[in-house]
Structure 1
């Protein structure tokens, strides 16, 4: 799957994508990430960008609005000659993203016919992006929760993480998908007896019993 990210702050993704599972997924070519910075699509004069990326909103009001043209050019570059792609605009007013959406996006990327392997994320900032962008390039507005962030970069990272783990081979072991196994609310590992401030904290005996039926009952009870 190929994720295309439209953002004026692409460097925000560096540390997250260069660690752990996503780093390995990129290395193993399970996923691919491309960035398109709208600032780089501003007009140049004498080698310098002389237009601003944002401006005051028509009709008045606080804050600044990101201009349409550089975002349109960035999206056009990401779309290229692709016939099958999906655009997601990150917005606190959008549909709330969840695991079911992640699974559907991942499944659609692996269909034999009409598969969508190119996902384009558009990250806004400030008061948002000029609405003519989404009028020209139709897409779906999504949110990661009932709260407001300073931009769409963090939500994009969340979505990429959640979608990528649904792609075959990314996690290595399919049983690592918490969504598909009985997940307890409590977990324990070695040592069996943990000493902390003169007190001993023990692992529940049932988890040491080897009785898988009783262990599953315990996990169900402690979900």
Structure 2
């Protein structure tokens, strides 16, 4: 009987030291606020995390225990001595497909202690065929208790496990990547910053792109003149009413020019005879 493959040696992520395990790898700080939002990542590359999520405001919020991050190594649930996680597509074709039984075992581990209600704890497969990720989706996830993300590889995941677990498919955009890890970090970042206490000033999330269905207006700061280019005088006027009108007009013009789809949707929400959209 051959010797089992030894687990990889731990690799350092700055403050964090991680080793292979069937248990979720908890990448949060030692302290954790009770009921803090948690992201669980099922991935073949757990060492990709926390990545940029461990930096700046999201990293600081993690250290404060405002949110937590766990990774579940999909390879640990593979078949045989080589821990195989994929096989050839049924019906033929190029590439490989992640096996339903392997993914199911990893998801069962990830969902231990999590609510079964998908509204309270969504399970998401990061897939180019999924619905586009939006700011509204980030708000929806931030309002949940946590989130489990399945990072795809190869040609995708056996459809049976997607159907059996009620997995939602979400796409970062209309392009194909080698795996879901980068997309997972982007979506978690967009979600975590909406958790109260992470940004410090929640008013900033109300004035940025997509919050009102429009792109954000241009921003300026010191110096007042740079290489012959001036800050628009209205922004230095101190007249907050005129500043608000200028910013709104700029946001509308940018949206109409750059995102006709958003502009059409915004126009459709307008109350007849008014500039304010319906809620």
Q: Count how many residue pairs are aligned between Structure 1 and Structure 2.
A: 207
Question: Offset of 1:180 from its aligned partner?
Answer: 6.5
Partner of 1:100: 136
Higher relative contact order (CA 8 A, sep 6+): 1
**Shift in Å, 1:181:** 11
Correspondence list, 1:39-54, <5 A: 39-43=75-79, 49-54=81-86
Q: 239, 253, 258: which is aligned to 1:211? A: 239
| Aligned partner (choices 61, 67, 73) of residue 31 of structure 1 | 67
How far does residue 165 in structure 1 lie from its aligned partner after superposition? 1.8
Deviation at 1:78, TM superposition (A): 0.7
- 1:147 deviates by 2.2
Alignment CA distance shift 1:96-1:176 (3 Å): same
Candidates 159, 184, 190, aligned match of 2:187: 159
Whether the aligned pair in 2 keeps the contact of 1:95 and 1:143 (CA below 8 Å) is yes
Distance 1:181 1:169, change over 3 A: farther
- The answer for unaligned runs of 5 or more in structure 1 is 110-116
CA distance in 2, matches of 1:5, 1:81: 15
- Report the Cα offset of residue 22 of structure 1: 1.1
Cα contact 1:175–1:181 (8 A) shared by 2: no
**Do the aligned partners of residues 96 and 182 (structure 1) sit closer, same or farther apart at CA in structure 2, a change above 3 Å counting?**
closer
Match of 2:10 in 1: none
For normalisation by structure 2, the TM-score amounts to 0.68
Q: CA RMSD in A?
A: 2.1
Deviations 1:169-192 (A, max 9, x none): 111111111227997521111111
Q: Which residue does 1:186 correspond to in 2?
A: 218
Q: Determine if the alignment matches structure 1 residue 168 to structure 2 residue 200.
A: no
Q: Deviations over 1:31-55 (max 9, x none)?
A: 11000011022356xxxx4232222
Equivalence for 2:92? 60
1:149 pairs with one of 164, 169, 177: 177
Mark the runs of 5 or more structure 2 residues left unpaired by the alignment.
1-36, 252-279
- Matched with 1:112 is none
Does the 8 Å contact 1:207/1:215 carry over to 2?
yes
- Name whichever of 97-106 and 181-190 sits farther off: 181-190
User: Normalising by the residue count of structure 1, what TM-score does the alignment of the two structures yield?
Assistant: 0.84
Q: Distance in 2 between matches of 1:180 and 1:164?
A: 19
